[in-house]
Structure 1
Amino acid sequence: MSTTDSRHTHHTVTAIVVSHDGTRWLGETLSALLGQTRPVDRVVAADNGSRDGSADLLARTLGPNAVLALPRSTGFGEAVAEVLKRLEPAGGREWIWLLHDDCAPAPDALSELLRAADADPRAGVLGPKLRDWLDRRLLLEVGVTVDRTGRRDTGLEPREFDQGQYDGVRDVLSVSTAGMLIRRDVWDEVGGLDPFLRIFRDDLDLCWRVRSAGYRVQNVTRAVAWHAEAAFRRRRRITVSGAHPRRLDRRNAIFVVLANLPAGPLLRALLRNTAGSALRALLFLLAKQPANALDEIVAIGSVLAHPGRLLRARRARAAGRARNHAAVKRLLTPPGAGYRRLVDRLQSYLAGGPVETAGRHHAVPARARESGEELLTDDAGATRRVLGNPGVLLFTALLAVTLVAERGLLGGTLLGGGALVPVTGGAQDLWRLYTEGHHQAGLGSDAWAPPYVAVLAALSGVLLGKTWLAVSVLLLGCVPLAGLSAYAATRSIVPGRWTRVWLASCYALLPVGTGAVAAGRLGTAVVFVLLPVHAALATVVLSGERRRARRAAWGLGLLLAVGTAFAPIVYPLTLLLGALAALAFPRRGVGVSVAVVFGVPVALLLPWLVQLAADPGRILLEAGLHRPELVDPALPAESLLLLSPGGPGMPPLWVTGGLIAACLAALLMRRDRMVVAIGWGVALFGVLVAVLAGRTSVTSPGGDAEAPAWPGVPLAFAALGMLVVGALTAGRIAEFRAAGGLRRLAALGVVAVAFSTPLLAAGLWVARGTPGPISGNARDAVPALVASASRNGERTLLLRSRADGLTFTVLSGRMPLIGEADIPSPEGPRDLVAVAAAGLVSGRGGDEARVLAAHGVRFVVVASPVGEEISRALDSQPALARMSLSRDLGVWRLTQPVGPPPAPEGDPWHARWLWVQALLVLVVAVLAAPGSRADGAADGVPQDAPDTEREPVAR
């Protein structure tokens, strides 16, 4: 039929309204339907078990004979199919107009749709432009497409207003069933809506099949309808399925793509969806959104677990699928658009702008496709925006500086040295260490393993079981990670992106960070990265906005537990500051939020904290070895005031002079005096605690070393307070610069002095490298000779010479794992072995060998340098036989029989508490996750609350 003749086609329109607990919208929908300038020929309604009076409203408006009552669990497609079964075909070309109960068409919507139908005889499906029900200027849809992972793409910017920019009739892949006009013969030919897709993506599947059948799917923008999207936004309860809407939507999206693609693209889409779902689940977990991660895994699993259902769907869609795929392919989202969407959202987050969650009308920033022609996104523009973002530039620069400065540590065979135990084993070994009730390491212990072992095990599992990779990311990458953390976390605290760049770069390059790398201080490195996030969440907790504050409190409590696990001093420092802040800002609900913050770490770390409380001095220690040579026992006061904690890897004191000068300049400013006072209060508090820590001697968990604690963590607290103070002066400096004259010179001088700190720190770090005991090729503490000769768990006594005497460590025939050094040894056996070791090196005879043999020690190893007196003393012992001796290493073996290690006693409550702990972590993560609640309840409004409680209606 020609186009001219088609204009004289007689159209009959049957409108089908499907309702389900939609009284709040249904009245307006029916009024809009009955008020069309081109009246419909027949109106039939189906009510799916409504309990709010929807069925009565339909009967009063349309008449009881025009309403079909269906069970409450009936899906939209099933309801439409039941109506059509009872309707005889009408004369002429019959069209079916599908309407949701929350979709109100404009008065001329039907006439505009039929006008478009007259213009194109191949049009099988037509859809209106959809706007938001509440804000009626806001665009929801002008046609929809998907990528090959099922990700929905409307081609709209987030919260884009309708200004006529998409006007016209355009070919699209799909239109919504809310206002969809479809020819009845086309409906019958393709089989209607798939009953399996009871809600969500049924419209996409139907339109895809219409496209494959050779018909056109068009969006007519002159036809307008307003849609509340009540089901997806959880404004009413969904009863067609027990699944969460996001999970159901994701499952159906994957199913539709796999069911409609030809065989070749199907295999690629299957691999892409499987790998993509795993990656997205991982990213959701890292972003503290376990509910969304679960949705991803369950969605792809429910599709792959029923291959028969997918095969049946593919057979039903076989006709025309391959023949018309080229036309469909042009309308799919271009490859790479998902990457560009992720990049844009990352850029928006780093820039401090709004971050849109994945919703119904979040789309890639692409322009509309005109009449089926694909208009690609501006890749070069997106790349330029990302690469020009200050946060991205900062992270890239810090990463480059780090790679050059740590050139001697990269590519080695074994990372270790200083406070870092040489990194061996994998995620499975760490989980075993954390979960076992009795530890055979050292002299054996029933004490709780430090909880940071579980954190490292989890991160190692994410990184394919590679513990060395997890430690490298946290320790060697702490400088760029701390810079990124400080830049992103201060976006709501510090105005100005470039001011935040200065703050973040100064913070990342502090002597605390570079010193932690040089000395192998993994605990300080982790806390150094987390502290800015702690500060940002704390400001939300104290803001008084109840919903946001409570969620931030759960998140801060979880991260505080992580920081406390690596460095216990974090908890008392934060507790004192939090208590003072709660008293200073007595807003409603703050007390409860603060209680949540400090209650979560106690609940998660309870048994270990009780163990820690028995030896309070260990609060000043951190994860790793406690070696006196890594701490400066006579650290001068000016070093602490200039934020230098001493030890290996420290730059000259004058490097941080510019930072201190900039922060002192803030005291001259008249604005933000309260913030300046708080910042300096935090700084002085941190310095005071650093002084006390540096003057307090602490014994290591193994009891083999006693030395002052390293004041790095308290100085990181002090530095963060100083930096916020210095950053808040940027606005005043900008005013001085604009004023000209001497003020301009003074402003430029302050800026130059302030930027000297990160520039000097980076330059010196790159020039000097990483001077310190840490090495990328650490030596194995257990010699190969001993490792090959030991059997049945035989232990090794390792002796080291130090300036203050000889220390000993007991190893269980292998390299120790990270965390084993932080497990306290039982005092009785430790004291006996200490006396025996002292007797051996003194050369006196006695029962030393018998004591060692009773504790399972078979080998005695003397680490470099091996002194002549020690070697003579050990050679003189009749119970020892020399195996090897050089300046670098000496090995002796006990000649008498060695008893087996003591049998583990075990703790019956240990395994039970691990299950409780895992459950607590999951609950806290869900409560802290922004995406863990349903959309309707996320704003604190019940699901069935009227729309007017959410935002005012603009009509």
Structure 2
Amino acid sequence: MSITDPDPRRPRHTVTAIVVSHDGARWLGETLGALLRQTRPVDRIVGADNGSRDGSATMLKDALGPNAVLTLPRSTGFGEAVAEVLARLEPVGGREWIWLLHDDCAPDAQALETLLRAADADPKAGVLGPKLRDWLDRRLLLEVGVTVDRTGRRDTGLEPREFDQGQYDGVRDVLSVSTAGMLIRRDVWDEVGGLDPFLPIFRDDLDLCWRVRAAGHRVQNVTRAVAWHAEAASRRRRRITVSGDHPRRLDRRNAIFVVLANLPFRPLLWALLRNVTGSSFRTFLFLLAKQPANALDEIVALGSILAHPIRLIRARRARAKGRRQHYAAIERLLTPPGAGYRRLADRIQGYLAGSGFVESAGRHHAGGSSAEDDGDELLTDDHGMMRRVLGNPGVLLFLALTLIALVAERGLVGGTRLGGGALVPVTGGSADLWTLYTEGYHQGGLGSDGWAPPYVAALAALSSVLLGKTWLAVSVLLLGCVPLAGLSAYAATRSMIPGRWTRVWLASSYALLPVATGAVAAGRLGTAVVFVLLPVYAALATAVLTAEHRRARRAAWALGLALAAGTAFAPLVYPLTLLLGALAALAFPRRGVAASVAIAFGVPVALLLPWLAEVAADPGRLLLEAGLHRPELVDPALPARSLLLLSPGGPGMPPLWVTGGLIAACLAALLMRRNRMVIAIGWGVALFGVLVAILVSRTPVASINGDTEAPAWPGVPLAFAATGMLVVAALTADRIVEFRAAGGLRRIAALLVAVVAFSTPLLAAGMWITTGVTGPISGNVRDVVPALAADAAGDGRRILLLRSEDHGGLTFTVLSGRTPVIGEADIPSPAGPRDLVGVAAAGLASGRGGDDARVLAAHGVRFVVVTSPVRPEVSRALDSQPALARMSLSRGLGVWRLTQPVATPPAPPGDPWRSRWLWVQGLLVLLVAVLAAPGSRAADREAVPQEPSETARELATR
């Protein structure tokens, strides 16, 4: 039965269509044609032209007749135009409907008929809207209903560029539908007062539908009714003259206003707080992304609401009816609170995608469930989003590596204190680290006015983010370096390596290299951080050398910031990358490359001064890294074959044959005829890293304070070598696939190479899980300062800590009555006092006596503590000293107290120049971060399309 047939069981409908135009001539012709071709003819059609200058008014009059078109001023808003039309129309009989159409919205021929059928099916329906598709790409979904969160952020529940495949078909309750094609009952319109004239454009439909629902009526999206919408105003495809504000600012202001005007009082307070804090944070993000105009729009939009409270109060009074009664149903349609965090993560991912570091996954929206009891679907599909996330190979890789790391590190997770090896036992919080980094004179040890290493500031910043928990920050960086390195390698090779599963192999092989497991076992925090950052260096360096000028320059600033972070933890990073960068600049003589390379390597120098100058003055410190330098952590006779198989020696090393598959795959790449230049570059980086590793492993280096001397650990240069090898192997993976498809011997050879290559991550993971973390690091390391000595030395006196070495010698450390925080051991003590105390400590331990105790007392030492193992000859020598009194002695610890008066170490006045430089350093970090941040994304700079898209052209030619 046709909907126009008389039927006594249903009310007779009369439909008045109102078409509002404003400089929309390029779309208006198709809109009017679609309106006149409706299978259920419209009873009345009225046009309203808001001061168009492109002939839109003439087109309306030609199509509808001069008496059916109302001409209004150019500043008239959409709602005002509709109100003016309705004020001049006589009422009609039956149930009257108003069909609102934009000049850039063309409904399908059956749209009105389908909407009225839905109205017949549900007498409570007050507003109905069609499914909106894109004007150019006619398969692309724009809206199937809209919702918002409590900050006014609009959610459509659709993925970016999601095609319509019938996945949302049906009639569903929604919070709002667009005025582009909205069908609303005339009595409902009159009851709620129509569109608010304060909202001339943007969010007026949301406000109207919210009030309709608060009045007890239903708002439904009828997906079988279709309309194509150009979204000319929101996409900046025409000039907006309805308001003096910028469109983005107007949209944001209206969004906040609608939410605050319609929420009940209690949710209003929470929404107000969220808007104030959220707008402030978004303003900061816009500034960071070099979008000052957007930052200004954000803050001015909020200010324009807060500056006019009377206007908001009046709006709330006008909307008071039914606000509390129906809010429970409306609340279920609002965006859940957790979606805001997902949106923030997507925005950050978008910024990273703008830098070319990660691939953009698009924007995921979240919505609420149906407000009624009819079991409608969710407006958005969070389960679908979770399936997409968990179906991403990079996410699966990260989860798998995290599980492997947790099982292998089972003895370290959940302990009382992490430490051992090169890692100083983790104590204190972020405040202690900030104090250490900013204080002018360090009381730790023998006292020093040297500069604290910059990695202390990096750890302090991360600890602050993690609620002041330094142990958590260290655990994330050290114990989590394997999954983090895998994720970093997977994301960084997006633009370099074809094929996601090839990148999975590369990332897993890289993450499980002996360098990583050795860094965890020996507590090498510096190597762990650099290991995670190396793929970032590769990605950013590629952008510096190959990207267009603006993006290359941003990548250079980002690379400089990342290099500064890596150099702070392991200074050897800087000379290694500097040499490779200089060679790359010579090999790629493009315009601007030299300047970008200069920026990348100038930033670390500027950010790390004057600490970097201190390191350069003592070249041996270039081979050290964050933490303690201990002989037992390195292999003094490391064989060459170990380095060639990427094994740096020391604790936590798997058997050499574990990495044999990777080396074999890289050697097989030499037989390939394609990508010869890339293969040569990769092997060049690999050989360079191995040569530097050989040099490092053969070079004796003294610790920061000269108490030990041992070869440096070659983990960092071997990580460079592994990066080159992995890129070589991964870039030839497509050739192996071709061999596999060719059949015969080539197929067998391809399968053999693939099996050998995949053996590396599988064997490495299996060995690590089986053996666990075997090394000096422990999750339950005891405090190096006994409680007895710590309590008694609490007035500023010091403790001399003696530690037996495997070769029979003793090393000494001076502590300021407490366990040192991370970074304190990396601050050099004055050479004179250190030498005097060293001689005195050796004299006491040998039983020489004499003036040794007086020397220690003069330097504020009150206690002598010997850590495990306490050798009998050492304890006897200390017992024989008349100036020492034994307090406790066991096989694991001995404590002696000086019996003579001990001097109180003086604290020199602070250096004002140091504090000023720290402020400058902080501002420089912020400036570089801003310069490194990507600009606005392409979606934010969308230009007016001059030609239809390829999809539209394809549809047009069918």
Q: Deviation digits for residues 224-273 of structure 1, max 9, x if unmatched?
A: 3433455467997999798994x986786677567656789x59986997
Structural mapping, 1:356-371, within 5 Å: 356-358=361-363, 363=365
1:782 maps to 785
What is the distance in 2 between the residues matched to 1:173 and 1:145?
6
Structural mapping, 1:828-839, within 5 Å: 828-839=832-843
Q: Would you say 1:92 and 2:91 are equivalent positions?
A: yes
Shift of 1:799: 1.6
TM-score under structure 2 length normalisation: 0.83
Provide the secondary structure at the position in 1 that maps to 2:800: strand
What is the distance in 1 between the residues matched to 2:117 and 2:763?
70
Provide the secondary structure at the position in 2 that maps to 1:575: helix
| Contact 1:158 1:356 survives alignment (8 Å) | no
Structural mapping, 1:515-664, within 5 Å: 515-664=518-667
Structural mapping, 1:243-392, within 5 Å: 245=248, 260=262, 266=267, 316-324=318-326, 328=330, 355-358=360-363, 363=365, 374-376=376-378, 387=390, 389-392=392-395
Q: Which amino acid aligns with 2:845?
A: V
Provide the secondary structure at the position in 2 that maps to 1:41: strand
Shift of 1:815: 0.8
Structure 1 residues 615 and 552: CA distance shift in structure 2, 3 A: same
Shift of 1:415: 0.7
Greater alpha carbon shift after TM alignment, 803-812 vs 308-317: 308-317
| Contact 1:113 1:128 survives alignment (8 Å) | no
Alignment root-mean-square deviation, CA: 4.9
Q: Would you say 1:903 and 2:910 are equivalent positions?
A: no
Structure 1 residues 136 and 465: CA distance shift in structure 2, 3 A: same
1:491 maps to 494
Shift of 1:850: 3.2
2:39 maps to none
2:731 maps to 728
Q: Which amino acid aligns with 1:919?
A: L
Provide the secondary structure at the position in 2 that maps to 1:808: strand
Q: Would you say 1:438 and 2:436 are equivalent positions?
A: no
Greater alpha carbon shift after TM alignment, 250-259 vs 148-157: 250-259
Structure 1 residues 345 and 404: CA distance shift in structure 2, 3 A: farther
2:192 maps to 190
Structure 1 residues 741 and 5: CA distance shift in structure 2, 3 A: closer
Q: Deviation digits for residues 574-593 of structure 1, max 9, x if unmatched?
A: 22222222322333443343
| Contact 2:257 2:305 survives alignment (8 Å) | no
| Contact 2:13 2:97 survives alignment (8 Å) | no
Match of residue 811, structure 1, among 812, 815, 832: 815
| Contact 1:796 1:857 survives alignment (8 Å) | yes
Q: How many residues align?
A: 921
Structural mapping, 1:422-433, within 5 Å: 422-433=425-436
| Contact 2:240 2:247 survives alignment (8 Å) | no
Structure 1 residues 716 and 275: CA distance shift in structure 2, 3 A: farther
1:28 maps to 26
Provide the secondary structure at the position in 2 that maps to 1:668: coil
Q: Which amino acid aligns with 1:881?
A: A
Q: Would you say 1:678 and 2:681 are equivalent positions?
A: yes
What is the distance in 2 between the residues matched to 1:458 and 1:500?
31
Q: Would you say 1:715 and 2:718 are equivalent positions?
A: yes
Q: Would you say 1:843 and 2:842 are equivalent positions?
A: no
1:861 maps to 865
What is the distance in 2 between the residues matched to 1:595 and 1:435?
29
Shift of 1:704: 2.0
Structural mapping, 1:671-710, within 5 Å: 671-710=674-713
Provide the secondary structure at the position in 2 that maps to 1:635: coil
1:766 maps to 769
| Contact 2:105 2:180 survives alignment (8 Å) | no
1:919 maps to 923
Shift of 1:492: 2.8
Shift of 1:603: 2.9
Structure 1 residues 214 and 379: CA distance shift in structure 2, 3 A: closer
Q: Which amino acid aligns with 1:829?
A: P
Q: Which amino acid aligns with 1:189?
A: E
Q: Would you say 1:211 and 2:213 are equivalent positions?
A: yes
Structure 1 residues 355 and 935: CA distance shift in structure 2, 3 A: closer
Structure 1 residues 912 and 950: CA distance shift in structure 2, 3 A: farther
Provide the secondary structure at the position in 1 that maps to 2:436: helix
| Contact 2:486 2:510 survives alignment (8 Å) | yes
Structure 1 residues 816 and 283: CA distance shift in structure 2, 3 A: farther
Structure 1 residues 640 and 335: CA distance shift in structure 2, 3 A: same
Shift of 1:896: 2.7
Greater alpha carbon shift after TM alignment, 492-501 vs 778-787: 492-501
| Contact 2:525 2:626 survives alignment (8 Å) | yes
Shift of 1:546: 3.2
| Contact 1:423 1:818 survives alignment (8 Å) | yes
1:49 maps to none
Structural mapping, 1:387-536, within 5 Å: 387=390, 389-536=392-539
Greater alpha carbon shift after TM alignment, 87-96 vs 596-605: 87-96
The share of aligned pairs that are identical, in percent, is 69
Match of residue 820, structure 1, among 817, 824, 835: 824
| Contact 1:178 1:227 survives alignment (8 Å) | no
What is the distance in 2 between the residues matched to 1:419 and 1:727?
34
Greater alpha carbon shift after TM alignment, 836-845 vs 499-508: 836-845
| Contact 1:347 1:386 survives alignment (8 Å) | no
| Contact 2:651 2:775 survives alignment (8 Å) | yes
Q: Which amino acid aligns with 2:105?
A: P
1:73 maps to none
Structure 1 residues 144 and 610: CA distance shift in structure 2, 3 A: same
Structure 1 residues 381 and 566: CA distance shift in structure 2, 3 A: same
Q: Which amino acid aligns with 1:138?
A: L
Q: Which amino acid aligns with 1:43?
A: A
Shift of 1:478: 1.3
Provide the secondary structure at the position in 1 that maps to 2:104: strand
Provide the secondary structure at the position in 2 that maps to 1:655: helix
Provide the secondary structure at the position in 2 that maps to 1:903: coil
Match of residue 41, structure 1, among 31, 38, 46: 46
Shift of 1:305: 8.8
Provide the secondary structure at the position in 2 that maps to 1:851: helix
Provide the secondary structure at the position in 1 that maps to 2:799: strand
TM-score under structure 1 length normalisation: 0.83
Shift of 1:687: 0.5
Greater alpha carbon shift after TM alignment, 168-177 vs 519-528: 168-177
What is the distance in 1 between the residues matched to 2:139 and 2:922?
47
Q: Which amino acid aligns with 1:429?
A: D
Structure 1 residues 296 and 487: CA distance shift in structure 2, 3 A: farther
Provide the secondary structure at the position in 1 that maps to 2:412: coil
Q: Deviation digits for residues 92-121 of structure 1, max 9, x if unmatched?
A: 268777777xx5233888994997499657
Greater alpha carbon shift after TM alignment, 378-387 vs 291-300: 291-300
Q: Which amino acid aligns with 1:916?
A: V
Q: Which amino acid aligns with 1:541?
A: V
Q: Would you say 1:801 and 2:804 are equivalent positions?
A: yes
| Contact 2:17 2:101 survives alignment (8 Å) | no
Query: Structure 2: which 5+ runs fail to align?
Result: 37-41, 61-65
Q: Which amino acid aligns with 1:460?
A: S
2:73 maps to 68
| Contact 2:283 2:298 survives alignment (8 Å) | no
Shift of 1:630: 0.9
What is the distance in 2 between the residues matched to 1:41 and 1:241?
28
Q: Which amino acid aligns with 1:889?
A: L
